[in-house]
């Protein structure tokens, strides 16, 4: 039988006792440490008004590291939400108290993890004085430090850091894409600066540059971007199209319409998104064409664009119904239903403004013709406002749909209240009286 040496048992038992002692000892030590930090916190909170008024913390006050760290965390946390004059006061206090200089020193010469923490804190301090040290940290070999420096440069958001950020990508340093993007978007105000990167031979550089252009809050110039609409790289094309949509330049319309015929589906998708942003009603026909796209997601996007282009979704629906394309109609209606717009338009059926009422009726007539009558019937039974239910009943009474009669009969049989039964019966009566007189041709499914 195998024999377990005594020292193994002793070691295991010792480990167990050691762990117990460590856990309890650490708990006690932390409790003491927190009490100390709380005392410093109370002290600094009492002192803060005078410090913000221009007082400088004395060397004696800043002697203990915990005291310094507590003040730093208070100021940095307040800076997160501060605006205007308060932000300026806090930044000045951070510099006056020597916290900025100390963090720069630690970033340059501190222990490994302290450098990383300092790089992050310098970003939170948002002081342009930290930019040279952070740019220097971008050259380090330790990727987490480079990432923290990049992130902090993005937080400071100064154009002075722009060339360093662009150079970081150009030199082929390993980069976290989103991090670089955020920094670039914050620090490079002129989109022309990205143009050279769009012609880089490395795909990842081209894609990142294109995404930066698309995400940048700075104004996009049509003249500097139009030449990239037919770039061989589809990702670049897609991002440039997004940017053109944001440019609000009417000259982009023809390029965007051409892009709705691109061979790559997501380029077409972006073109439609850009058309929605431009909001030019003259593009309606191109969008209507895209609603019949072979790609499901493009169809969905086209439907959303259509809904945003026209003042009343009923108009778009009417146009689609005239195209006799079931898929396209479904795409639009499903977009409207998922956004809650279809349901929210129900009270408009009894609006005192005639135009609003007509638009809502147009929308719902189209929805019924497309087979979406179930939503209206559900609303007839469940809508919290009785007057809206009456308006729905009136609309249904005027409509003619083959499936309506059967469904109305079923719901009448299951109706829980006399009032609802009366309403359903009235609709049913009008339906049966006109049934067979007006029949609509069924919608076609495209191949």
Q: In the bound complex, what is the minimum distance in angstroms from residue 16's beta carbon to other proteins?
A: 6
Taking CB under 8 A as the criterion, the residue among 190, 215, 318, 407 binding other proteins is: 215
Q: In the bound complex, what is the minimum distance in angstroms from residue 164's beta carbon to other proteins?
A: 19
Q: Residue 187 interacts with other proteins (CB under 8 A)?
A: no
CA 311 to chain centre: 25
Q: Is the dihedral of CA 251, 257, 261, 265 positive or negative?
A: positive
Q: Residue 172 interacts with other proteins (CB under 8 A)?
A: no
- Kindly write down the DSSP assignment for every residue of 427-445, as one continuous string: HHHHHHHHTTTS-PPPPBP
Which span sits near other proteins by CB under 8 A: 37-45, 126-134, 353-361, 372-380? 372-380
Q: Residue 342 interacts with other proteins (CB under 8 A)?
A: yes
255 vs 300 by CB, closer to other proteins: 300
Q: Tally DSSP H helices, then E strands, for the chain.
A: 25, 0
- CA–CA dist 183, 100 (Å, integer): 21
- CA–CA dist 284, 311 (Å, integer): 12
Q: In the bound complex, what is the minimum distance in angstroms from residue 42's beta carbon to other proteins?
A: 21
- Per DSSP, what are the bridge partners of residue 325? 444
Taking CB under 8 A as the criterion, the residue among 240, 379, 395, 420 binding other proteins is: 379
Location of structure tokens 């989109």? 191
Contacts from 423-431 at CB under 8 Å and sequence distance 24+?
423/380, 423/389, 423/390, 423/393, 424/380, 424/393, 426/393, 426/397, 427/380, 427/393, 427/396, 427/397, 430/397, 430/398, 431/396, 431/397, 431/400, 431/404, 431/405
Provide the mask over 117-146, with x wherever binding to other proteins is found by CB under 8 A and - wherever it is not: x-xx--xx-------------------x--
Taking CB under 8 A as the criterion, the residue among 199, 339, 410, 432 binding other proteins is: 339
Q: Residue 170 interacts with other proteins (CB under 8 A)?
A: no
Name, in order, each residue with C-beta under 8 angstroms of 35's C-beta and a sequence gap of 6 or more: none
Which span sits near other proteins by CB under 8 A: 125-133, 157-165, 333-341, 353-361? 333-341
Q: Residue 108 interacts with other proteins (CB under 8 A)?
A: no
Q: In the bound complex, what is the minimum distance in angstroms from residue 56's beta carbon to other proteins?
A: 28
Task: Give the count of alpha carbons within 13 A of 203, CB side only.
Answer: 4
Of 37, 43, 27, the C-alpha closest to 66 is: 37
Helix pair angle (143-156, 177-187), 10° resolution: 30
Q: Residue 91 interacts with other proteins (CB under 8 A)?
A: no
Of 199, 173, 174, 169, the C-alpha closest to 184 is: 169
Q: In the bound complex, what is the minimum distance in angstroms from residue 178's beta carbon to other proteins?
A: 5
Q: Residue 410 interacts with other proteins (CB under 8 A)?
A: no
Query: Which residues inside 302-331 make contact with other proteins, applying CB under 8 A?
Result: 327, 330-331
Q: Residue 243 interacts with other proteins (CB under 8 A)?
A: no
The first and second tokens of residue 237, run together, are: 């094309």
Q: Residue 58 interacts with other proteins (CB under 8 A)?
A: no
Query: Which residues inside 148-167 make contact with other proteins, applying CB under 8 A?
Result: 148, 151, 155
- CA distances (Å), 176 to each of 154, 167, 181, 278, 294, in order? 13, 15, 9, 32, 35
Backbone Cα Rg of the chain: 33
Q: Residue 374 interacts with other proteins (CB under 8 A)?
A: yes
Q: In the bound complex, what is the minimum distance in angstroms from residue 113's beta carbon to other proteins?
A: 5
Which span sits near other proteins by CB under 8 A: 7-15, 358-366, 392-400, 421-429? 7-15
Which residues of the shown chain bind other proteins in the complex (CB under 8 A)?
A: 1-4, 6, 8-9, 12-13, 15-16, 19-20, 22-24, 26-27, 80, 113, 116-117, 119-120, 123-124, 144, 147-148, 151, 155, 174-179, 181-182, 215, 296, 300, 327, 330-331, 333-334, 337-340, 342-344, 371-372, 374-375, 378-379, 382
């Amino acid at each position: 039988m195998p024999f377990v040496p005594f020292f193994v048992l002793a070691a295991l038992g010792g480990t167990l006792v050691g762990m117990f002692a460590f856990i309890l000892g650490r708990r006690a030590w932390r409790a003491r440490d927190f009490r100390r930090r709380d005392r410093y916190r109370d002290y600094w909170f009492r002192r803060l008004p005078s410090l913000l008024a221009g007082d400088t913390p004395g060397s004696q006050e800043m002697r203990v590291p915990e005291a310094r760290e507590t003040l730093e965390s208070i100021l940095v946390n307040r800076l997160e939400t501060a605006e205007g004059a308060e932000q300026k006061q806090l930044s000045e206090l951070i510099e006056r108290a020597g916290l900025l200089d100390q963090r720069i020193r630690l970033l340059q010469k501190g222990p490994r993890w302290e450098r990383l923490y300092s790089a992050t804190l310098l970003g939170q301090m948002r002081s342009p004085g930290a930019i040279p040290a952070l740019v220097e940290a971008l050259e380090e070999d330790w990727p987490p430090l480079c990432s923290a420096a990049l992130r902090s440069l993005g937080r400071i958001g100064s154009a002075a850091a722009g060339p360093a950020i662009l150079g970081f990508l150009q030199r082929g340093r390993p980069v976290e894409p989103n991090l670089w993007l955020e920094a670039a978007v914050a620090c490079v105000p002129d989109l022309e600066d990205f143009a050279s990167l769009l012609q880089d031979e490395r795909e990842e550089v081209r894609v990142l540059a294109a995404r930066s252009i698309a995400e940048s809050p700075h104004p996009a110039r049509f003249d500097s971007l139009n030449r990239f609409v037919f770039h061989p790289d589809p990702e670049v094309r897609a991002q440039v199209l997004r940017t053109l949509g944001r440019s609000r330049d009417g000259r982009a319309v023809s390029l965007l319409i051409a892009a709705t015929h691109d061979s790559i589906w997501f380029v077409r998708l972006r073109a439609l998104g850009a058309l929605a942003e431009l909001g030019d009603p003259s593009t309606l026909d191109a969008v209507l064409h895209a609603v019949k796209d072979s790609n499901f997601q493009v169809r969905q996007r086209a439907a959303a664009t259509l809904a945003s282009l026209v003042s009343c979704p009923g108009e778009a629906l009417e146009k689609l119904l005239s195209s006799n394309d079931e898929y396209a109609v479904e795409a639009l209606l499903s977009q409207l239903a998922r956004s809650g717009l279809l349901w929210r338009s129900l009270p408009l059926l009894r609006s005192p403004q005639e135009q609003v009422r007509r638009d809502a009726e147009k929308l719902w007539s189209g929805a019924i013709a497309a087979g979406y009558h179930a939503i209206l019937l559900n609303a007839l039974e469940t809508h919290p406002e009785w007057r809206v239910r009456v308006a729905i009943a009136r609309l249904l009474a005027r409509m003619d749909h083959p499936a309506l009669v059967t469904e109305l009969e079923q719901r009448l049989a299951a109706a829980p209240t006399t009032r609802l039964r009366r309403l359903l019966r009235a609709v049913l009566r009008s339906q049966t009286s006109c049934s067979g007189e007006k029949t609509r041709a069924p919608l076609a499914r495209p191949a």
